[in-house]
């Protein structure tokens, strides 16, 4: 698919889910699938791409000397990689070399994205995802930012300020209609990923910051579905139990939970809550025409308190990006990249600045 065509299909859905127009921001694109001769460009800046860089370096060392690391590269965790930076000089140098190679790949991906119409005006890029929460990830992001800066390129790279696990929940607060904030102090959020499903309660804390800059995860539960042989229906049933438990605990603690669930999910989200494509890493077929995630969750949690449950779903990268929206008010156009199993992406235009400009 040509970049222009790919962009056109991802500028938002005509419905409450996957919408382009949100309360405070316009989603100018998301889930872009930019290709080159090697395949999807985003694959060059995924977690597996870093592993490939590290593995290639180790292979070279094995042929010409000693590899200072032990075990398969894809089984070395983030904490262990970070520990190498503080240890033996050869281990640290090897990991830093992989960081440099990955940073160059990330800079390449950003160059390609900023050639697209929706990304061309982007002034700042927030980088989230699980890879960001490691020191290795932070160094790679910072190095890619330096590479782009020395080339005279405009986008500033910044790491996401929330913990990536929490950003995928906190961002849901920016999906909720403003009227809900008048009577409630918290809401329910779900972050569905290729390896994990997380459900939790987001405290809005509007007395501290009306713009939701102080919103935070009160409590959450994580289920790593990738470690179990489970079906789609079993996964949905498990999520329903997680949601009911989180809501019950919050109400017992005196929180006023809004009748609202915000959902972040991989892929292209249709206006009716169906998943068009991009959910291939989830257990079972979530893209079936006979399956609707929103309706399935509504059946499991039909009410919260005394009110019928309202549900809004969007792409998971969009929601991670929304968590950073209060800090993006000094620019008009900005974007998010989430580095994990794959590379999530979304671009935004702040509505308040767009109206002021008009």
Same domain, 252 and 154: no
Residue 154 counted as domain residue: yes
Instruction: Sort strands 307-308 and 310-315 into parallel, antiparallel or unpaired.
Output: unpaired
**pLDDT tens digit string along 200-222?**
999 999 999 999 999 999 999 99
Same domain, 175 and 300: yes
Count of C-beta atoms within a 10 Å radius of residue 185: 18
For residues 47 and 236, give the distance between their C-alpha atoms in angstroms, rounded to a whole number.
Answer: 27
Q: Is the pLDDT of residue 242 over 80?
A: yes
Residue 251 counted as domain residue: yes
Classify 201 as helix, strand or coil.
strand
**pLDDT tens digit string along 145-167?**
999 999 987 789 999 999 888 99
Residue 7 counted as domain residue: no
Residue 330 counted as domain residue: yes
Q: What is the dihedral sign for C-alpha 333, 20, 194, 299?
A: positive
Helix or strand holding residue 148 (H, E): helix 135-150
Read off the pLDDT of each residue in 162-174 and give the average, rounded to a whole number.
93
Q: How confident is the model at residue 15 (pLDDT cuts 50, 70, 90)?
A: low
Instruction: Sort strands 268-269 and 275-277 into parallel, antiparallel or unpaired.
Output: antiparallel
Classify 13 as helix, strand or coil.
strand
Give me the residue label for tokens 């090897």. 94
Give Cα 156 to chain centroid, integer Å: 18
pLDDT on residue 154? 76
**pLDDT tens digit string along 178-187?**
888 889 999 9
The half-sphere exposure of 12 on its side-chain side, counting CA atoms within 13 A, is: 15
Q: Is the pLDDT of residue 227 over 90?
A: no
Same domain, 171 and 278: yes
For residues 291 and 93, give the distance between their C-alpha atoms in angstroms, rounded to a whole number.
Answer: 49
Same domain, 217 and 88: no
Same domain, 178 and 62: no
Same domain, 180 and 247: yes
For residues 268 and 346, give the distance between their C-alpha atoms in angstroms, rounded to a whole number.
Answer: 11
**Domain interval for residue 259:** 164-312
Residue 110 counted as domain residue: yes
pLDDT on residue 295? 95
Same domain, 178 and 155: no
The pTM for the full model equals 0.90
Residue 6 counted as domain residue: no
Question: Any idea what the CATH number is for the domain that residue 306 is in?
Answer: 3.30.420.40
Residue 23 counted as domain residue: no
Same domain, 147 and 222: no
Same domain, 190 and 238: yes
User: Which alpha helices (DSSP H) does the chain contain, by range?
Assistant: 3-8, 47-64, 78-84, 89-113, 135-150, 164-170, 180-183, 232-252, 293-300, 316-322, 351-357
Same domain, 279 and 328: no
Same domain, 150 and 199: no
Q: How confident is the model at residue 82 (pLDDT cuts 50, 70, 90)?
A: very high
Number of domains in the chain: 2
For residues 28 and 8, give the distance between their C-alpha atoms in angstroms, rounded to a whole number.
Answer: 10
Residue 249 counted as domain residue: yes
Q: Residue 16: which of 246, 176, 132 has the closest Cα?
A: 176
Same domain, 239 and 250: yes
């Amino acid at each position: 698919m040509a970049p222009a065509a790919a962009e056109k299909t991802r500028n938002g859905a005509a419905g409450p889910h996957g919408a382009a127009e949100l309360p405070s921001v316009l989603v100018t694109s998301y889930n872009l699938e930019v290709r080159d001769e090697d395949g999807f460009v985003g694959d060059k800046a995924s977690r597996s791409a870093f592993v490939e860089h590290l593995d290639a370096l180790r292979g070279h060392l094995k042929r010409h000397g000693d590899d200072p690391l032990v075990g398969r590269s894809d089984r070395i965790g983030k904490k262990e990689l970070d520990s190498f930076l503080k240890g033996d000089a050869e281990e640290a140098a090897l990991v830093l070399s992989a960081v440099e190679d990955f940073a160059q790949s990330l800079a390449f991906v950003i160059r390609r994205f900023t050639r697209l119409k929706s990304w061309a005006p982007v002034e700042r890029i927030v980088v989230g995802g699980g890879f960001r929460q490691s020191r290795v990830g932070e160094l790679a992001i910072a190095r890619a930012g330096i590479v782009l800066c020395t080339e005279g390129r405009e986008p500033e790279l910044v790491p996401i300020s929330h913990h990536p696990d929490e950003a995928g929940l906190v961002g849901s607060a920016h999906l909720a209609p403003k009227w809900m904030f008048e009577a409630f102090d918290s809401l329910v959020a779900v972050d569905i990923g290729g390896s994990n499903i997380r459900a939790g309660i987001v405290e809005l804390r509007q007395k501290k910051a009306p713009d939701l800059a102080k919103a935070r995860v009160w409590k959450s539960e994580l289920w790593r579905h990738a470690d179990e042989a489970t079906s789609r229906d079993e996964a949905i049933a498990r999520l329903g139990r997680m949601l009911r438990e989180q809501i019950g605990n919050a109400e017992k603690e005196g929180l006023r939970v809004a009748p609202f669930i915000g959902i972040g999910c991989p892929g292209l989200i249709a206006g009716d809550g169906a998943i068009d494509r991009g959910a291939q890493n989830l257990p079972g077929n979530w893209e079936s025409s006979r399956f609707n995630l929103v309706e399935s969750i509504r059946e499991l949690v039909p009410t919260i308190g005394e009110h019928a449950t309202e549900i809004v779903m969007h792409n998971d990268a969009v929601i991670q990006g929304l968590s950073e929206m209060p800090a993006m008010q000094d620019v008009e156009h900005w974007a998010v990249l989430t580095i994990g199993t794959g590379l999530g992406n979304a671009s935004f235009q702040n509505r308040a600045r767009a109206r002021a400009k008009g």
